[in-house]
Amino acid sequence: MAEANNSDFLILITIFVGLGVIILVFLLKWIKQEQSNKDNTKNDKSAKSKSSSTETSGKHGKKEQQAAKPKKKQLTERETRRTARANEKGFNHPWLLATLKGHTGRVLDMDFSANGKYLVSCGDDRTVFIWGAKELANKDRKSLRVNIEFDYATHVKWSPDCKAFIIHRFNENCLEVYKVDKKKDGWLTASKAVTFPKGHDTDVIGMGIASNGKFIMTCSNKTDMIVWDLKGEKLAKLDTFLMSTECAKISPCGRFIVASGFTPEAKTWEVVFDKSGDFKEAKQVPQLNLGGHSSGVYDVAFDVDSSHMATVSKDLTWRLFDTKVNYKQGQDARLDISGRYESSSSKSLVALSPNAEVLVVATANDLQFYSTMTGKLDSTVENISNEHITSILFDASGKHLLVSSDKQIRVFLNVPGYRCAIAHAKEKLKEHQTSATRERLQQLVKESEDFLKNF
Ligand SMILES: *[C@@H]1O[C@H](CO)[C@@H](O)[C@H](O)[C@H]1NC(C)=O
Ligand SMILES: *[C@@H]1O[C@H](CO)[C@@H](O)[C@H](O)[C@H]1NC(C)=O
């Protein structure tokens, strides 16, 4: 018993001594640190008094220094402001037809109404703007600002009848319908009409309304896609099976939904209604999947009648497909042409002119125009703004390309479109044509050549 007590005592002593040593080491360290901190502050103080003494010693020197310092600061501020202004205002390009100003935050999405009369845009400044689209180049163009309460819209689309637009609210993560009415003076007013229930748990990356007015589509950045009726009832919930989804759009014909993301193939669904107009199903159409890339697909685009679809991929290529195929008989979308584009490793967007003759890739703040006849780069427009391009959109005539990046929407003339029109006409003139067609084509070539003389 006594022996055991003894050894217990020994252990206790060892522990106490050990603890004592540890505490001592910490104390020493702490004292050292305190000392060095004091030294530092001392050094600072002495340095300060030194510099202030040099300042006071030369009276003129002090005044000059004091006067010079803020002046220099002001100058650099003014300079930076000036360069910022130069970048905003000063971006100029022979093809730049107009700049739509009104948003005070980044413009995120744009859409033309089906009747071609209006452009709608939304931004992170909590506003939606409607612009008179017939007078885009006119400084006196009309516009209407609609405020989105406590939130902002990431997506905006016109309803096919042009009597409403729908937005996707970012914070609420839900869809909202705004009614658009004509005022007595002919211009418009807009008011909130319906708010849909929340459909997705994560960010929505795509929203659309079918041109036939039969359904609305939203898709999250994961893999859940919803087909809605116009009243906010869910018709179908789909899984994109894309791992993560970056783009989801309804084709202009209103029949297909195309989505792309992490996988090297964009997927296509057909939304089917029965003869009485009731929703039947949304089914995958593997024949119209757009593949052949070796990496994820950032974005897809359509021509006016959905007979061509284009993809742009992380693998630095774009692909143009002929989708006017008999897919119901098992015919696959056919690759027309593909090309490589330049990128500084940011997400890229693609747009197709309504006649599918010009394909535009937007990457960072640059535009690259390609001829879909040759696949070759026609031109680039660089450094449009300090911020990345958020959306690109051809108008129905194909003569203008709208680009949003910062607070402004820039309207560019589609000059490459004229060159492509000449090339296509000349190609057709090689074949046998009726004299009327011949004349029309020759006229087209002449008019386009005249137009191009200005650039
Ligand atoms: C998807 O959205 C959520 C927010 O809802 C966000 O936290 C997440 O980073 C997004 N994922 C991707 C891949 O962008
Ligand atoms: C665009 O900006 C980059 C980097 O700032 C510069 O190297 C390039 O020369 C600019 N291009 C044009 C056409 O201004």
What tens digit of pLDDT does each residue of 165-198 get?
999 999 999 999 999 999 999 899 999 999 999 9
> How far, in Å, is the centroid of ligand 2 from the Cα of 157?
34
Domain boundaries, the chain: 64-93
Residue of 92, 379, 383 best suited for mutating to test ligand 2, as the one with most atoms within 8 Å of CB = 383
Q: What residues contact residue 350 under an 8 Å CB cut-off, 6+ apart? A: 298, 299, 300, 301, 310, 311, 312, 318, 359, 360, 361, 362
Specify the pLDDT at position 115.
95
Considering every ligand atom shown, identify the ligand nearest to the alpha carbon of residue 203 and give its number. Answer: 1
What tens digit of pLDDT does each residue of 16-47 get?
555 455 555 454 455 455 444 444 433 333 33
Q: If you search the block for the tokens 């143009």, which residue do you land on?
A: 320
Q: Is pLDDT above 90 for 350?
A: yes
The CB-side HSE value for 415 (13 A sphere, CA atoms) comes to 19
Amino acid at 231: K
What tens digit of pLDDT does each residue of 85-138 get?
445 556 899 999 999 999 999 999 999 999 999 999 999 999 999 999 988 888
> How far, in Å, is the centroid of ligand 1 from the Cα of 170?
12
> How far, in Å, is the centroid of ligand 1 from the Cα of 377?
34
> How far, in Å, is the centroid of ligand 1 from the Cα of 206?
13
> How far, in Å, is the centroid of ligand 1 from the Cα of 244?
10
The CB-side HSE value for 159 (13 A sphere, CA atoms) comes to 19
Specify the pLDDT at position 75.
44
Asked if residue 212 has its Cβ within 6 Å of ligand 1, the reply is no
Alpha helices in 58-167 (DSSP H): 59-90
What tens digit of pLDDT does each residue of 214-241 get?
999 999 999 999 999 999 999 999 999 9
What is the percent of the chain where pLDDT is above 70?
80
Q: What is the edge-to-edge ordering of all strands in the sheet holding 153-158? A: 153-158, 164-169, 174-182, 188-195
Asked if residue 202 has its Cβ within 6 Å of ligand 1, the reply is yes
Specify the pLDDT at position 89.
56
Residue nearest to atom 5 of ligand 2 (CA): 383
Which candidate, 346, 323, 161, places its Cα nearest to that of 255? 323
The minimum-distance atom of ligand 1 relative to the CA of 201 is: 5
> How far, in Å, is the centroid of ligand 2 from the Cα of 87?
12
Give the 3-state secondary structure of residue 178.
strand
- Around ligand 2, the residues with Cβ closer than 6 Å are 382-383
Considering every ligand atom shown, identify the ligand nearest to the alpha carbon of residue 242 and give its number. Answer: 1
Residue of 342, 382, 386, 405 best suited for mutating to test ligand 2, as the one with most atoms within 8 Å of CB = 382
Considering every ligand atom shown, identify the ligand nearest to the alpha carbon of residue 90 and give its number. Answer: 2
Q: What is the CA radius of gyration of the chain?
A: 32
Which candidate, 318, 267, 307, places its Cα nearest to that of 288? 267
> How far, in Å, is the centroid of ligand 1 from the Cα of 201?
10
Residue 402 token pair: 């709208």
> How far, in Å, is the centroid of ligand 2 from the Cα of 107?
23
Which candidate, 304, 284, 290, 303, places its Cα nearest to that of 261? 290
Residue nearest to atom 12 of ligand 1 (CA): 221
The minimum-distance atom of ligand 2 relative to the CA of 383 is: 1
Sign of CA dihedral 151, 154, 159, 162: positive
Least confident of 49-53, 114-118, 437-441: 49-53
Specify the pLDDT at position 137.
85
Q: Is pLDDT above 60 for 56?
A: no
Residue nearest to atom 13 of ligand 2 (CA): 382
> How far, in Å, is the centroid of ligand 1 from the Cα of 202?
6
Considering every ligand atom shown, identify the ligand nearest to the alpha carbon of residue 262 and give its number. Answer: 1
Considering every ligand atom shown, identify the ligand nearest to the alpha carbon of residue 171 and give its number. Answer: 1
Q: What residues contact residue 191 under an 8 Å CB cut-off, 6+ apart? A: 178, 179, 181
The minimum-distance atom of ligand 2 relative to the CA of 382 is: 13
Residue nearest to atom 6 of ligand 2 (CA): 383
Task: State residue 451 phi and psi, 5-degree precision.
Answer: -60, -45
Q: Is pLDDT above 80 for 64?
A: no
> How far, in Å, is the centroid of ligand 2 from the Cα of 366?
10
Asked if residue 244 has its Cβ within 6 Å of ligand 1, the reply is yes
